[in-house]
Structure 1
Amino acid sequence: MKTQLLFVLRILGTAILIMIIDVLLSVLEVFIYARFVPDKPASFYDAHALQSAPWVSGIAGGFLMFVFTRHYMNKKPSRHLLYSLTLPTVYTLIDICIIVAIQADLKSNYPTYIIATLAKYAGALIAYFNKPKITHENISSSGRIF
Structure 2
Amino acid sequence: MRAIIQRVKYASVEITGEIHNKIEHGILLLLGIEDADENEDTSWIIRKVSNMRIFNDEEGVMNKSLLDINGEILIISQFTLFASTKKGNRPSYIAAAKPEIAIPKYEHFLAEWEKETKIQAKAGVFGADMKVELLNDGPVTIFMDSKNKV
TM-score range, shorter chain: 0.3 to 0.5
Write 1 or 2 for the structure with the bigger share of helix: 1
Higher relative contact order (CA 8 A, sep 6+): 2
Write 1 or 2 for the structure with the bigger share of strand: 2
TM-score by length of structure 2 reads 0.36
